[in-house]
Amino acid sequence: MIETVVLHRRHRGRYQHIVRVLLAHGLGGFIAPFDPRGRRSAQRQAGEDIPRSSRIRAAHLRRAFEELGPTFVKLGQILSTRVDILPPVYIEELEKLQDNVMPSDSDAIIAIVEEQLGGRIDDHFATFERDPIASASIGQVHAATLHDGRSVVVKVQRPQVREIIQQDLSILADVARFAEGRSAFLRRNHVSDLVREFSWTLRAELDYHNEARNMQRFRRAFGASEGIRIPRVVDELTTSRVLTMERVDGIPLDDIPAIREAGHDPTALVDGVILMLARGILDIGLFHADPHPGNFAVDERGSLIVYDFGMVGSMDERLRERLLLLIVAVTDRDSQRVVDEIARLGVVEAGWDRKAMERDVSHLIGQYVGVSLSQLPISMVIDDVMGMMRRYQLRLPPELSLLAKTATMAESLARSLDPDINVFETVGPIIRESMRQFYSPAYWKERLKYRPLEVALLGAALPGHIQRILTRIDANDLAFHVEVDELQTTMRTLERLVNRISLAVITAAGYVALALVYLGLRPALGSWQGVVMVLAVIPLVVFTITVVLGIRRNGR
């Protein structure tokens, strides 16, 4: 009860606005469990005229997120990567979330630039266009010119967007903690962890220093490549809320006629996109996580220009190794090794059916590997993969969820440029090159560098650990703690059941006692005995109503 009150009162105005928007879109079912007054009539009234099919509910969820602002737009974009949690209809709808909004007042934007960089805007820029060339929920982009004549673009964070996002993240954290206490499904899918990871991602996106570092890391990794061009960051004009970079114009990647007219080959360009993603994943552990056509262009030399490094995925070395071995197992069509690597990634639940998963994996590999995109219905692949994930309750690490989403977007982009491309043939050389590291002495020298020290420390500490265990066994003081899934929920349910039974027994006993007293005394209604008996009936009636409402509230 305390949790409910805290959830309802913190950030009260914003919380009420969120509830109103969800109700207006007929999504009262999403917030009904969090209403401390237990009201359901508003939910029914708000949604009674809205059809309840899954597709329409998913569309209303997308519109509600767009109406609620930047935090929920980003949340929807992250949720669209969680194919292991949401049904396909919600994934498809959340993928449509638009991050384009009306621009902020130019005077407010200039004030932020001057505050962040110090001094007047004329001190830093020879020209600064007041009208933005692009506008998103967190920031907007303005064209400018430096005093040395260089053309740049300036990405400026919107006024007060940081404060709004921090408030929304706090609300989401409260809701997630409270919801996990009410829903076994949400506990099983670790919704609090999902909100925590989302908060880290969004807070990182609020700091433009992170985007600048991402751009510089990609430039170092692909700087020697003639086919990829990444804008340079102007460090002295970059802060946590202002990002200044060189302006690099080109033909948008989805403008195929203009690309062909300029004499460039779309097939080579799509190869460049796929190779950039593959090399980023396997070589440096970074990948551009938003590969839609608007973030790519082609310059006059035919080089691929890459924009917007606000959403970048990262993978540590161990996860890259496991992923590489999984890719090799898939290309070898070895279903047993594929399942082994899935298990080592830690995404399977206890009691999973290994043999059944091997059969399903073998079917998917045989059906899709080696087929060109023109013959491969991507929607069918997505449905099959999501179906297998739900069937075996697979839990993808957030890095792999984002990677799966990125791969899907890259594949869709590739199909739009070259329907006959075979992605496996394109990335095959990169995979084979990365596999050579496992046979490199330098690789194993690095991996085993600290192993002798770790073995020595373990050997030195092992006798003490064994002695303490034996001492506790000898003293009969060795205890094991076992945690049973859903035990806490079951205990809370039993406590409520016992409390309800106790209240019903007390109520029944009270009625019996009053009946016996009445039969023994036969008091008149106007006497003091009659008044006492009437007063005694009141709490019994309240108890009765409480028991009945409790039963009705649970639907049983």
474: helix, coil or strand? helix
DSSP state letter for 262: T
Of 84, 168, 174, 290, which one is the catalytic site residue? 290
Alpha-carbon distance of 472 to 234, in angstroms, equals 63
Alpha-carbon distance of 46 to 60, in angstroms, equals 12
Contact 266, 256 (CB under 8 A): yes
Largest CA distance in the chain: 108
Alpha-carbon distance of 113 to 119, in angstroms, equals 9
Structure tokens given for 532: 């006492």
Alpha-carbon distance of 307 to 300, in angstroms, equals 16
CB atoms within 10 A of CB 399: 20
For residue 290, indicate whether it is catalytic. Answer: yes
Structure tokens given for 364: 């998917």
Beta strands in 127-254 (DSSP E): 127-128, 134-135, 139-145, 151-157, 228-229, 242-246, 251-252
DSSP state letter for 233: B
Which residue is listed with tokens 């059944």?
A: 356
Contact 232, 209 (CB under 8 A): no
Contact 154, 142 (CB under 8 A): yes
Q: Give residues with Cβ within 8 angstroms of 331, minimum separation 6.
A: 369, 424, 428, 431
DSSP string, 356-372: HHHHHHHHHHHHHTT--
Alpha-carbon distance of 42 to 367, in angstroms, equals 49
Structure tokens given for 207: 């700091």
For residue 232, give the H/E element and its range.
none
Angle at 498 between CA 497 and CA 500, to 5 degrees: 65
Structure tokens given for 177: 């903690």
CB atoms within 10 A of CB 384: 15
Active site members: 290
